[in-house]
Amino acid sequence: MTYAEALEKLASLGPEVRTGRAADGGAGMPPRKFSLDHIRVLLAELGSPETSFPSVLVAGTNGKGSTTATLASIAAHAGLKTGWYTSPHLLRVNERIHVSDGAKLVEIPDEAFGDAFGRAWSAAENLVSEGKLPHMPSFFEFFTATAFVYFAEQKIELAVLEVGLGGRLDATNAVEPIISVITDIGIDHTEFLGNTITEIAREKAGILRKDGVLVTLSQHQEANAAIGEVAMSLGVRGVDAARCLPPRSLMATGGIADEYSPLPRNKYAVAIDGEPILVNSPLRGVHQQRNLALAIATALELRANHGFTQITNAAIEAGIRETVWPGRLEWIPARGGRAAMLLDVAHNPAGAWTLRDALSHLPESMPRTLLFSALHDKPIADLARVLFPLFDSSSSDPERKGDHVVLAPIQNVRAATVDELLAAAHELDVPAHGAPHVPAALKQAEDVTPRDGVIVVTGSIFLVAEIRALLMEEKVR
C-alpha cells in the first residue's frame, strides 16, 4: 500500500476518538466499546510483532508524552536501537512512530508507513471476511499495529510506548511491558475513564503486570491509593522516582531563563549512588521536573535490573539534553515586526494550571494575547476560569490593559464553536474576540500584539498543530 492510500484508509475510519456530537462524524461509526480483544486478534494474525521486543509502557493524564520523549532519547543515546510510539501527532501521522538512527530518533518514512499499515489493513480485512473480527479495527488500533509491525521489522532493542487513552483497555496494553510507568493523573476523558481521580487511576493502573515493575512518583492521595491497591494485588515492585527530583531549592524555579526563552530552563544536578547526573533539558516548566525524574528512574531501572548496561550516566545526560518534544511550552522568538509566541498543548485543567504557573515567570509588563480554542467535549468553562483572567483587559491591573483574548474554532469534527468559546469568556466578564477560523485568529492576534509582547496559543493540541502548520508554511515562503 502506498503512503497516500494508507492516509486515505485512516481517514475512512473517522475521528480518532468519537464522543459527544462527533460520535456520528467521519465514517458514521458509533463510539467503540474499548477492548483488547480486537487488537490481540489483529496482532496474532500479523505474527505477534509486539513479542519481538521488550517494552516500557507509560500511562498517565499529563506528562506521559514528555516522559516517553525523554526516555526514548536516553535509550537512543545509549546506543540502543529504540522504537518510540506516541500520540497524537502535530503535523504528520509519521510523528507517532520513531526508530533511532544512531543517537537520533527518526520518523517512520512514508514508504515504510504505507507498507506496515498495508499489512495491518490486509490482515484486518481477512479477519473480518473470516468472521474472526466483527468489524475493522479502530484508528488507534491500526496505528498501534502499524508501529509494532515496523518495530519488529527494524529489530529494535527497546520500545518506549505512550498509552493513548486510559491504560487497561488501550491498544498499547497488548504488550507485556518489562516496566510500567505512571505519570501524574488528573481529570480528563471522563466519558471513557470515570468521573473521579480514583476511577481514572484504576484505569491507568491497568498497565501493571503480575510481579512486574512500576516506576512512579507520589501524587494525589486518591491516585496513590488506587494505584497502590492494584500494585499490591499483583505483587508489583515499586520504584519511587523521588530520588531523581532536583534539590528542593530548585523545585520551585527550575533554573534561569536563557537566550532561547524567558521561561526557566530545567538545569540542575541529581546525585545517584554518589555520582551526579547533570540535567539540562530543553523542556521548560517546573512540572517537567517530575517527568524528567520518571524518565531518569526508568533508565536506571533498565540498567540495574533488566540488562541494559549501555545506559550510562553520560547517555542519560545526553538523552535529556537532546530531547525533542515540540508544542510543550515551546517558545518561538519574535520575528520581523511580530511578537514572540508560546505554544502549549494544555487541554485539561491540570495542563492549564501548569501553563498558568509558567506564565507567572514572564515579566508582568509584557503585553499578552491569548489565542485559544478547544474541543466541544473538553471542560471549556474550567479551562477558561484558569486562563482567561490572566488576559483580562478590563481588570484593575494596569499591566493587563493592553491584553487580548482571541477565540477561533479548530479543524476537527469535535471542535467547539466560536459561540461556545465566547460564552465561556462572557461568563467570566473577560473581553474576547471571535474569529471565523484559525488563520484569521492568528492574523488578528499578531495585529494587536506589540513586538515586545507574546501570543500564547493553547487549549488544544489541534490548535497548536494548526498554528505550527501556518508557521511552517510561512517559513517555506
Phi, psi of 457 (to 5 degrees): -105, 120
The CA distance from 283 to 265, in Å, is: 7
- 223, pLDDT greater than 90: yes
> pLDDT tens, 167-181?
889 999 999 999 999
Dihedral angle computed from the Cα positions of residues 30, 36, 37 and 39, in that order, rounded to the nearest 10 degrees: 80
Between 260 and 227, the more confident residue is 227
pLDDT confidence tier of residue 24, bands split at 50, 70 and 90: very low
pLDDT confidence tier of residue 248, bands split at 50, 70 and 90: confident
Mark 147-184 as b/e (b = at least 16 C-beta within 10 Å): bbbbbbebebbbbbbbbbbbbbbbbbbbbebbbbbbbb
- 191, pLDDT greater than 70: no
Count Cβ atoms below 10 Å from residue 456 Cβ, excluding itself: 27
**% the chain with pLDDT above 90:** 82
**Average pLDDT estimate for 120-132:** 98
Regarding pTM above 0.95, the answer is no
Q: Which residues contact 251 (CB under 8 A, 6 or more apart)?
A: 245, 286, 289
- DSSP strand E in 20-170: where? 55-59, 82-85, 97-101, 104-107, 158-162
Using an 8 Å Cβ cutoff, are 438 and 411 in contact?
yes
- 252, pLDDT greater than 80: no
The pLDDT score that the predictor gives to residue 15 is 72
pLDDT confidence tier of residue 100, bands split at 50, 70 and 90: very high
> pLDDT tens, 412-431?
989 999 999 999 999 999 99
> pLDDT tens, 321-348?
999 999 999 999 998 889 999 999 998 9
- 195, pLDDT greater than 70: no
> pLDDT tens, 49-88?
999 999 999 999 889 999 999 999 999 999 999 999 999 9
3-class secondary-structure state, position 442: helix
Taken in order of first residue, the domains within the chain and their CATH numbers are 3-321 (3.40.1190.10), 330-476 (3.90.190.20)
